[in-house]
């Protein structure tokens, strides 16, 4: 876009006049509104899990999960401080549930994902079904689904929360309510949703209209097994290694309507081609170690660290050990709106 027109005393007087009527001249701001390429305050950033864990345990001694409702440390992008955003459109935070605690039941318009970082033996209950959680599991809480979390294990439980809070805020469509009790009634046996929908089988008379997948726990063991088999028999993608997306088994779409979730394997010594896309992406290494170059910034990462690649920033990954990365972004929304764009190898 061309530069804004020259300012003159006559034009300035006109601008002051229309400002009093809550109007402004498009020609003065068009270059900031319609940019030749994505322009965002979102920055590349990495949080080391060891530091997050230490702060979370300190928080665990200061406030209970019940008093906090959700004991979470928000991962605020350094370019978006004060906005509770990890990217321009998405939220990220790390939640802690200590042994014997319950995070009380509530529901809200925002869709949520949980990616389990550390601990076994804790559970989450979603709309009457309970599931146990283990590291690497991807768990969905659909919009307006009752959910609570509990930890009957002897160890603290940590997971990454990803929500579409900024998107819902943008549309002024937020609603939330508490159930008034710590835990909701459990009305379905554990594993019910996976048995019905997660084994390449569907109920014969299924009429399913919900926006999120009916499977709400995607176990890491299943994803890891698939990646291992594909590693041996598939050609490696130059930008991604072996990368798969989590899907809704009813329609083959993304598992969540507003957040795309992905899992990828990088073999030891793999160095990816540079890649950029319009969906700012949050990455979590599950296994292995390596480094990622995002523009001119290089991050060294290991298991459970969390890092952000902003929109249209070129990224390349190098794996010093065989590595598995989980990631999430707003790609489903961009694709549905015809906005998604990617550049493979020419960034």
The encoded tokens of residue 85 equal 């955003």
Predicted local confidence at residue 342, as pLDDT: 97
pLDDT surpassing 70 at residue 347: no
The model's pLDDT over 15-71, given as tens digits with 9 standing for 90+, comes to: 999 999 999 999 999 989 999 999 999 999 999 999 999 999 999 999 999 899 999
Predicted local confidence at residue 312, as pLDDT: 98
pLDDT surpassing 50 at residue 134: yes
Half-sphere exposure of 91 (CA within 13 A, CB side): 23
Predicted local confidence at residue 1, as pLDDT: 58
262-292: b or e for each residue (b if 16 or more CB lie within 10 Å)?
A: bbbbbeeebebebbbbbbbbbbbbbbbbbeb
* CATH class of domain segment(s) 45-344: mainly beta
What number of other Cβ atoms are within 10 A of residue 190's Cβ? Answer: 15
Mean pLDDT for the chain overall? 95
pLDDT surpassing 70 at residue 346: no
What number of other Cβ atoms are within 10 A of residue 137's Cβ? Answer: 21
Mean pLDDT computed over 151-161: 97
pTM, to two decimals: 0.95
Domain range list for the chain: 45-344
The model's pLDDT over 256-307, given as tens digits with 9 standing for 90+, comes to: 999 999 999 999 999 999 999 999 999 999 999 999 999 999 999 999 999 9
């Amino acid at each position: 876009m061309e530069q804004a027109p020259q300012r003159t005393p006559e034009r300035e007087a006109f601008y002051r006049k229309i400002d009093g009527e809550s109007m402004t001249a498009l020609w003065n701001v068009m270059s900031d509104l319609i940019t030749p390429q994505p322009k965002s305050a979102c920055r590349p950033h990495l949080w080391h899990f060891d530091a997050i864990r230490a702060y979370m345990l300190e928080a665990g001694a200061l406030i209970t999960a019940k008093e906090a409702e959700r004991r979470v440390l928000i991962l605020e992008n350094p370019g978006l401080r004060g906005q509770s955003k990890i990217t321009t459109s998405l939220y990220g935070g790390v939640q802690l549930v200590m042994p014997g605690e319950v995070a009380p039941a509530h529901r809200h318009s925002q869709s949520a994902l949980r990616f389990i970082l550390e601990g076994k033996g804790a559970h989450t209950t979603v709309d009457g079904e309970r599931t146990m959680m283990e590291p690497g599991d991807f768990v969905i809480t659909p919009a307006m689904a009752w959910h609570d979390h509990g930890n009957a294990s002897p160890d603290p439980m940590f997971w990454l929360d990803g929500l579409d809070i900024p998107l819902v805020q943008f549309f002024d469509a937020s609603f939330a309510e508490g159930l008034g009790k710590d835990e909701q009634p459990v009305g379905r046996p554990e594993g019910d949703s996976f048995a019905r929908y997660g084994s390449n089988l569907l109920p014969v008379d299924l009429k399913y209209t919900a926006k999120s997948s009916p499977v709400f726990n995607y176990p890491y063991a299943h994803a890891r097994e698939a990646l291992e088999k594909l590693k041996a028999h598939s050609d490696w993608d130059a930008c991604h290694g072996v990368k798969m997306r989590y899907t809704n088994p009813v329609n083959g779409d993304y598992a969540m309507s507003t957040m795309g979730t992905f899992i990828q394997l990088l073999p030891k010594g793999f160095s990816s081609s540079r890649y950029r896309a319009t969906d700012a992406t949050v990455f979590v290494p599950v296994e292995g170690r390596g480094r990622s170059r995002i523009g001119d910034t290089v991050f060294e990462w290991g298991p459970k660290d969390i890092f952000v690649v902003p929109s249209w920033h070129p990224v390349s990954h190098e794996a010093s050990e065989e590595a598995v990365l989980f990631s999430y972004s707003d790609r489903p929304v961009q694709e549905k709106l015809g906005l998604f764009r990617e550049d493979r190898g020419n960034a």
